[in-house]
Amino acid sequence: MGKEQKKAEARVEADKLKSNEPAPLGTMSNKEAPQEELSGSALQKRADEGDQKLVFRKKDSSTRAAPEPSAALAPSADAVEPVGGALKSVLDRYGLPPVWGPGVSDEMVLKAEPALRNLYRVGGAATAADSARVRLYVAEAIRARVGAAPDSAAVDEIVHHYRRAIRLAGNDAEIRRVATERLADFLNELGDEPALHPPEGEGGQP
- Domain residue limits, the chain: 85-193
The second-level CATH assignment, the architecture, of 85-193 is Alpha Horseshoe (1.25)
State the pLDDT at residue 73. 35
- Band (206; pLDDT cuts 50, 70, 90): very low
Q: pLDDT, tens digit, for every residue of 172-189? A: 999 999 999 999 999 999
The secondary structure of the chain in percent helix, strand, coil, rounded to multiples of 5, reads 65, 0, 35
Phi/psi at 124 (5° precision): -80, -10
Stated pTM of the model: 0.58
Kindly report, residue by residue over 116-161, the tens digit of the pLDDT. 999 988 888 889 999 999 999 999 999 999 998 899 999 999 999 9
